[in-house]
Structure 1
Amino acid sequence: MDPEKHYVDDKHGAAFVEKAQVADYKADAIEAENAEHDMTVMQAVKAYPMASFWAFVISCTIIMESYDVFLIGNFVALPAFINRYGVVNPADGSLVIETKWQSALQVSGQLGALIGVFLAGPLTSHIGYRWANIFGLMLLNAFILVFYFGDSLPVIFAAQLLEGIPWGIFIANAPAYCSEIVPIQLRAPATQMLQMFWAIGSIIVGAVTYVYNDHLDESAYRIPIALQWLFPTPLAILIYFSPESPWWLTRKGRLEEAAKSVERLGRKDQMKTTETLAMMRRVVEMEKNDAQPNHIELFKGTDLRRTLIVCGVYAAQNLTGNLIANQAVYFFRQAGIGVQLAFALGLITSALQMIFVMISWILTTYFGRRSIYLWGSGANFVLLISLGVAASINQYSDASSLAQASLGLIVSVLFTLGPAPASWVIIGETSALRLRPLTTGMGRATYYIVEIPCIFLASYMLNPTGGNLGGKCGYVWGATAFVCLVVAYFGLPEMKHRSYREIDIMFKRRIPARQWTNTIIDVNDDE
């Protein structure tokens, strides 16, 4: 059926008329945008319950990358894994995982994910979010086999690299999908769920490795690897029944399917499908380009600024305390904490992270993305320098060890209150709709490109056979956090309560970042 013609869904009794000209549906688009602006958070939740549910489901894919990142981080501190793959430390005769392999194992997944994020953009642009994620989940099922049966560090490295490919698809698609299926008021909590599920993945790893850390046979690491199979198949089944993003369908000109998708996301008695679809068409028409989306466009015109913001926010996650969080157990061990207490603190850190992500939903929704990001980054800078100071004062005393462990825990937890969850919202909102899968993929690629050398640096700084700095690494990460804070202050705009139309216009008008809050965009403006 021609999408410009009258369409009636007999089953549900819903009807709408698609007009041929922009002028014909602009009034409906304005009405839908005003309705979203006027909603409170609770009204949005009540009006779009299924949108919240499907955002929750797609966010679950992040558990798998989180689980494996923290799993490898914990393996280098796991006695059974060290006994099997470690070498003798000449300094004291103990077994340790060599620095080169410790770093290699922790970057292998990121190398695969770097491949995955570049595949995700073209793949998702072509087949949509649903099928791209299902494809990734099936790949992951197969690659876990390699990890489980691998019995050497090179094979484990290869398995992690392969698993990273579907991770890249999930991490590129999840923030884009979540931000597209919910109304303005729910964009912050919907995208911040990704950070919560990152914390949930680390909690599961922390609990499993805490239980098995005193097992000295291979079950101590084989069982945690096998537990990865709990996630892909059930998630693939759920995602099969999920609605495709109506924004993606609108970009493809599949308006009837977009209308059905909109109706599946909200309560039918509160939905105005015609108006909502008109709002989407208005933004798509503003961004209209007959050429197929490609990576070169990300670096042209105003899209360059948007790409730099997404890439900068992603890169900064590695430079403001995140690597201490990802290697929490190993950090605690190198700070002088015993094995049992180190694993217990790692589990506590993960649990607190999940709680603080929930608190961040409220803070980011009401106080804005820029404010929370800047204040959180500033606090982490102070704490990281304090960590370095604590390690510089009688580094191996009990008091210094406890101070370093406490500050490392606080840095890891505070990261999930400010910079981390705010980042996901910024990433989901900043890119142009037409280029969104490509922009989020490019941003995540930047994350991995920065993270890979940082992991080598972090491992070298902490490892007894490397720099053996312990908490003094706080000086290094404190310096990088300060640079990120300054750049964000001058370059990061506030997009709270802004529709995608308003965001497009403000970027096209090149409004400076610090003026966004006070800028008014007329509801009739299209450019």
Structure 2
Amino acid sequence: MSATVDSKSHSDDPEVAAQVENVYDLDEKAKAADYKADAVEAENAEHNMGVLEAVRAYPMASFWAFVMSFTIIMESYDVFLIGNFVALPAFTQKYGVLNPATGLYVIETKWQSALQVSGQLGALIGVFLAGPLTSRIGYRYATLTGLMLLNIFIFAFYFANSLPVIFVAQLLEGMPWGIFIANAPAYCSEIVPIKLRAPATQMLQMFWAIGSIIVGAVTYRYNTLDSPSAYKIPIALQWMFPTPLMILIFCAPESPWWLVRKGRLEEAAHSVERLGRRSRLNAGETVAMMRRVVELEKSTKEPNHVELFKGTDLYRTLIVCGVYLAQNLTGNLIANQAVYFFEQAGVTTNTAFALGLITSALQMIFVMLSWILTTYFGRRTIYLWGSGFNTILLIALGIAGSVGKSNASSLAQASLGLIISVLFTLGPAPASWVIIGETSSIRLRPLTTGMGRASYYIVEIPCIFLGSYMLNPTGGNLGGKCGYVWGATGFLCLVTAYFFLPEMKGRSYREIDILFNRKVPARKWTQTEIDVQDDE
């Protein structure tokens, strides 16, 4: 206290004032040095962890990533449900028109496309709401808001009795999906250490496959019923998910990165302790590492969408958007419309549903295999090789569809459709989620993932119309020849990724920020060393 009074009494003396200022500066520099030393220590500890060691150190982080990823199952379930409904006899008899050529009822092309687009239109609205909402109230409360809304909107779908009402119900359900799909990859990538970012974010693709498995099993079980129960029961089963997830998400810790961005450092340290074992980590050092990155990205402005299109953030936004939209241009739509595709390839309805179920089960298995591949071989490597094989198979599908109608041709098209749908979940699809979670800056992450998913829906909507037209017998009736179209777009995505997609395997968020700020070319990231003391 006396020192303070003394310094005030001599504040008019320039020499004394300068000495006091120097002491203050030295004290601040000492604090900054301690804080940076802790940050370096935490980052080195993450780099030195093996995968199994990371799981042991952060067991609850893996669990909460699993819980957040589970929210994706609801969009997957409904997307595949609508895709299967257009091939479900009871649904087509209720809402379809008679096709004189076959004597069977079919959903008109315009409504088939509209129903598959409706949820995506709602999700497009949802992802734009998700960014500002999450930036303001956090991942937990934004996700809880979406789950509560979804519980309500399912009623509209269940009691709908016409195609226009189903369209509106799906649009409403899509809005919470947009929140889930924007938040899940960002949250999962933020709560786990470097070595677990790949499997944590790739769980999203696994739950997408699980959603399709549940739909496949349910519609396979009920597709032979000649009553509204064939589609009412699968709709009602959507209520299985939101309430249990609300309870779990309420109990989940908030992302410590989000808390650090908000300056709530004590809460961030507590969140880190809940995510890992206290005996294996130092929460203070981990928060210091987060503070270092947040300071590196510091801005006086509140995060906004305009920033996504300025400076190096523009490049990062384009990568996220490009990877997202490429999912619709490299075979994903064949996977989403698998049952309908198999029907148009010439197999029976029951066999088509069985093949759809087999496809979904194989997708889940291949996603788990991709955890190993992406963790050890990198994101860029798996993405490029997977996209390359996918393009070749799509062209082969087009050739199989061009040789004339025969039993052999139908089997070849069905087999290639299955292989494309499955291999898509081994390479490009799961690698995409890791890239999406890692690429954006910490400060703009909720906005970037939302914008990226928006690009997905913007491209998916016209692609759904195109895909439905190409497959529908009342439209283009191309069957397997659609492989030529998707093969061409897939090749363009492959070339673009080769030149602009960097390898972020094993990089901390500080290193990723620095590499982007230094404008290192994508193909040279693996050759570039970043010193642990560097901040720019």
Q: Normalising to structure 2: TM-score of the pair?
A: 0.94
Residue 279 of structure 1 corresponds to 289
Residue 192 of structure 2 corresponds to 182
2:30 and 2:60 mapped to 1: Cα distance? 30
3-state SS in 2 of match to 1:517? helix
Q: Equivalent residues in 2 for 1:90-169 (5 A)?
A: 90-169=100-179
1:386 and 1:305 mapped to 2: Cα distance? 34
1:450 aligns with 2:491: no
Residue 329 of structure 1 corresponds to 339
> Alignment partner for residue 225 of structure 1, among 219, 222, 235?
235
C-alpha displacement of 1:22: 3.1
Is the contact made by 1:19 and 1:25 (CA closer than 8 Å) also made in structure 2? Answer: no
1:260 and 1:347 mapped to 2: Cα distance? 43
Residue 430 of structure 2 corresponds to 421
Q: Equivalent residues in 2 for 1:282-431 (5 A)?
A: 282-394=292-404, 396-431=405-440
Residue 4 of structure 1 corresponds to none
2:432 maps to a residue whose letter is S
2:388 maps to a residue whose letter is G
1:476 aligns with 2:485: yes
C-alpha deviations, 1:71-123, integer Å up to 9, x for none?
00000000000000011224333211000000000000000000000000000
> What percent identity do the matched residue pairs reach?
81
C-alpha deviations, 1:435-494, integer Å up to 9, x for none?
000000000000000000000000000000000000000000000000000000000000
3-state SS in 2 of match to 1:95? strand
C-alpha deviations, 1:326-371, integer Å up to 9, x for none?
0000000000010111000000000000000000000000000000
C-alpha displacement of 1:271: 1.6
> Alignment partner for residue 41 of structure 1, among 51, 54, 63?
51
C-alpha deviations, 1:173-216, integer Å up to 9, x for none?
00000000000000000000000000000000000000001001
3-state SS in 2 of match to 1:434? coil
Q: Equivalent residues in 2 for 1:15-94 (5 A)?
A: 21-94=31-104
3-state SS in 2 of match to 1:169? helix
3-state SS in 1 of match to 2:101? coil
Is the contact made by 1:369 and 1:422 (CA closer than 8 Å) also made in structure 2? Answer: yes
1:161 and 1:387 mapped to 2: Cα distance? 33
1:481 and 1:42 mapped to 2: Cα distance? 35
2:249 and 2:461 mapped to 1: Cα distance? 31
1:210 and 1:161 mapped to 2: Cα distance? 25
3-state SS in 1 of match to 2:476? coil
Residue 468 of structure 2 corresponds to 459
Residue 13 of structure 2 corresponds to none
2:471 and 2:330 mapped to 1: Cα distance? 17
1:517 aligns with 2:526: yes
Query: Structure 1 residues 213, 19: closer, same or farther in 2, change over 3 A?
Result: farther
1:506 maps to a residue whose letter is L
2:468 and 2:284 mapped to 1: Cα distance? 55
C-alpha deviations, 1:229-271, integer Å up to 9, x for none?
0000000000000000000000000011001000000011112
2:230 and 2:460 mapped to 1: Cα distance? 28
1:461 maps to a residue whose letter is M
2:176 maps to a residue whose letter is P
C-alpha deviations, 1:277-314, integer Å up to 9, x for none?
10000000000001100000000000000000000000
Residue 15 of structure 1 corresponds to none
3-state SS in 2 of match to 1:433? coil
C-alpha displacement of 1:21: 4.5
Task: Provide the aligned C-alpha RMSD in A.
Answer: 1.0
Residue 516 of structure 2 corresponds to 507
C-alpha displacement of 1:24: 2.8
1:256 aligns with 2:266: yes
2:534 maps to a residue whose letter is D
1:119 maps to a residue whose letter is L
C-alpha displacement of 1:19: 10
Q: Normalising to structure 1: TM-score of the pair?
A: 0.96
Greater CA drift, 436-445 or 88-97 = 88-97
Residue 10 of structure 1 corresponds to none
3-state SS in 1 of match to 2:444? helix
| Structure 1 segments (4+ residues) deviating >6 Å | none
> Alignment partner for residue 499 of structure 2, among 476, 490, 498?
490
